[in-house]
Structure 1
Amino acid sequence: MKKLFARIFGAFEPESARRGAPRLASDEFPRALYVIGDVHGRLDLLEALEEQIARHAGVVGEDIWVVLVGDVVDRGPSSAQVIDHLLAPPKWGFRRFCLSGNHEQAMLEAFESAEALEWWCRFGGIETLASYGVSISQLDPGARSWETNRAVLEAYIPREHVQFLSDLPVMIRVRSYVLVHAGLRPGIALKDQTDRDLRWFRHETDAAENNGWQSDYCVVHGHTIVERPLITPEQIAIDTGAYMSDRLTAVCLRSGQEPIIIEQLGPSQHN
């Protein structure tokens, strides 16, 4: 994955090395850039939305980019299958990237200690474990035998899935658009935003509350659930709570054009 990033984006931004997670930047805008909100284990909605995106883009090639803003795991029923899907080449021919969210971080940290595993289980990890065929009864989140718990995780969760999560960038900047999972902390330079800021910070999603916030960038993010997508000159919020709302949202960005919202509705939304 790092070789792909280097080929497409040239090089990681310098500050990424000292902060840990990759931060990518491109001054070349693709023909169209589609950004997808938090999937949270809803493979059904993701596959259907990608098909919608392919139809919307028309002729699909590597100049069409699709970026998932993170939190592809937890809470929904098919997290393992979502990662399998993201590891496979996109069937529609576009370039696809995924960002690291706070739930990806929590899943990785669950391998490190009993306390982190217990917290992840309460944070949405139980559903993810079930997607790998792990029942909570197989684990002892209370940590009487951490080595046993870790062995269960390593036996059921493929190493390539762990590596995939470990390699994810926390930011992709495309000209004046900054794509992150959670947001940018106001008043802090882009290079000084921490990985925690980019994975955890919550923006106000009331447009009236943001009237006074000025930035050189438009931040496109998920993390904070909105009933309807929010689009302002400084912020595009597209997490519509797919795992509970049955609605997955994307935004189409083209250089010099207004953003376009694309939504995929699940069965409950059609009743």
Structure 2
Amino acid sequence: MQRHGPNEHGRDFIVGDIHGQLALLYGQLEAVGFDYQRDRLFSVGDLIDRGADSLQCLSLALEPWFFAVRGNHEMLAHDALLGEERGSLKTRDAWMINGGTWALEAGLDEAQTMLQQALPSMPYAREISVAGKRLGIVHAEPPKDWNDLATTSQDLLWGRTRIRRGDETPVRGIDAVVVGHTIVERPIWLGNVYYLDTGAFTTGRLTLIEACTLMSGVGS
């Protein structure tokens, strides 16, 4: 996990799963007047796959204003290109079936190089100080206690138990958590967990929200 202090010079925003939809992202940033010198953008992961601009979206992880956690799609790419079974039909097919075909056009070598550069900047979790509160970010599902992050890496990437059950039990040890991974018609709260993946690739709707707006009602 990487921690971030308050942004004392600008605003913080959080964006849902981008999935290669670079134009949608820049359209949202333009709409809020994003200041690349002062503002920060936090991502819930899944920068890549399904969308044609996946390579460019992955390169966002190297920008000084962009802070992503890793998603399951980054790990599918990792397993296919960098993992112990890299190059195997099993890992390659799993990635391609889930939207990795963009890498064939971009070039597997280029995709591998960019992934190697980007992943060190994409931890499993982030925590931001916002208006005196602590806001966590993971891709899919937080643990029941924020202090147990290290023991739940698979759930952080793939979990859907909470949203399937409609579980509103608050995550302990943190004020609020933002996640993506599971497409929702509109952003929703379950306890103190906020789901904001509105399906950029399938619906054309990419959710971007300012962190202070998100946190304004937390704990009040």
TM-score, normalization by structure 1: 0.66
Structure 1 equivalent of residue 103 of structure 2: 129
C-alpha distance in structure 2 between counterparts of 1:43 and 1:245, whole Å: 14
Alpha-carbon offset, residue 214 of structure 1: 4.8
Alpha-carbon offset, residue 190 of structure 1: 3.4
Alpha-carbon offset, residue 46 of structure 1: 1.1
Number of aligned positions between the proteins: 206
Structure 2 equivalent of residue 157 of structure 1: 111
C-alpha distance in structure 2 between counterparts of 1:182 and 1:102, whole Å: 8
Letter of the aligned partner of 2:172 in structure 1?
S
Structure 2 equivalent of residue 241 of structure 1: 199
* Pair 1:248–1:254, CA change in 2 (3 A): same
C-alpha distance in structure 2 between counterparts of 1:230 and 1:44, whole Å: 25
Q: Structure 1 residue aligned with 2:168, among 211, 217, 236?
A: 211
C-alpha distance in structure 2 between counterparts of 1:32 and 1:197, whole Å: 29
Letter of the aligned partner of 2:141 in structure 1?
G
C-alpha distance in structure 2 between counterparts of 1:257 and 1:222, whole Å: 17
User: Is the contact between residue 203 and residue 224 of structure 1 (CA under 8 Å) also seen in structure 2?
Assistant: no
Alpha-carbon offset, residue 159 of structure 1: 1.7
Alpha-carbon offset, residue 162 of structure 1: 2.7
C-alpha distance in structure 2 between counterparts of 1:129 and 1:180, whole Å: 25
* Pair 1:36–1:193, CA change in 2 (3 A): farther
User: Is the contact between residue 173 and residue 179 of structure 1 (CA under 8 Å) also seen in structure 2?
Assistant: yes
Structure 2 equivalent of residue 67 of structure 1: 42
Structure 2 equivalent of residue 169 of structure 1: 123
Q: Once structures 1 and 2 are overlaid, which stretch shifts more, 98-107 or 181-190?
A: 181-190
User: Is the contact between residue 185 and residue 201 of structure 1 (CA under 8 Å) also seen in structure 2?
Assistant: no
1:182-224 per-residue CA deviation (whole Å, 9 max, x = no partner) reads 1212257334443222211225348x93334453321101011
User: Is the contact between residue 68 and residue 97 of structure 1 (CA under 8 Å) also seen in structure 2?
Assistant: yes
Q: Structure 2 residue aligned with 1:195, among 153, 157, 173?
A: 153
Structure 2 equivalent of residue 117 of structure 1: 92
Structure 2 equivalent of residue 145 of structure 1: none
Structure of greater Rg = 1
Letter of the aligned partner of 2:125 in structure 1?
M
Q: Structure 1 residue aligned with 2:211, among 234, 242, 253?
A: 253
Letter of the aligned partner of 1:129 in structure 2?
A
**Cα RMSD over matched residues?**
2.8
* Pair 1:124–1:221, CA change in 2 (3 A): same
C-alpha distance in structure 1 between counterparts of 2:214 and 2:146, whole Å: 26
User: Is the contact between residue 50 and residue 99 of structure 2 (CA under 8 Å) also seen in structure 1?
Assistant: yes
Letter of the aligned partner of 1:74 in structure 2?
D
Alpha-carbon offset, residue 45 of structure 1: 0.3
Report the secondary structure of 1:236's partner residue: strand
User: Is the contact between residue 37 and residue 239 of structure 1 (CA under 8 Å) also seen in structure 2?
Assistant: yes
C-alpha distance in structure 1 between counterparts of 2:53 and 2:201, whole Å: 10
1:53-91 per-residue CA deviation (whole Å, 9 max, x = no partner) reads 3x2x6xx3655221111101001221112234x16647x
Alpha-carbon offset, residue 232 of structure 1: 5.3
Structure 2 equivalent of residue 8 of structure 1: none
User: Is the contact between residue 143 and residue 171 of structure 2 (CA under 8 Å) also seen in structure 1?
Assistant: no
* Pair 1:211–1:121, CA change in 2 (3 A): closer
Structure 2 residue 11 is matched with structure 1 residue 36: no
Structure 1 runs not aligned, ≥5 long: 1-22, 135-152, 260-271
User: Is the contact between residue 38 and residue 68 of structure 1 (CA under 8 Å) also seen in structure 2?
Assistant: yes
1:97-151 per-residue CA deviation (whole Å, 9 max, x = no partner) reads 121101001111112131211111111111x22451x5xxxxxxxxxxxxxxxxx
Structure 2 equivalent of residue 16 of structure 1: none
Structure 1 equivalent of residue 71 of structure 2: 101
Letter of the aligned partner of 1:24 in structure 2?
Q
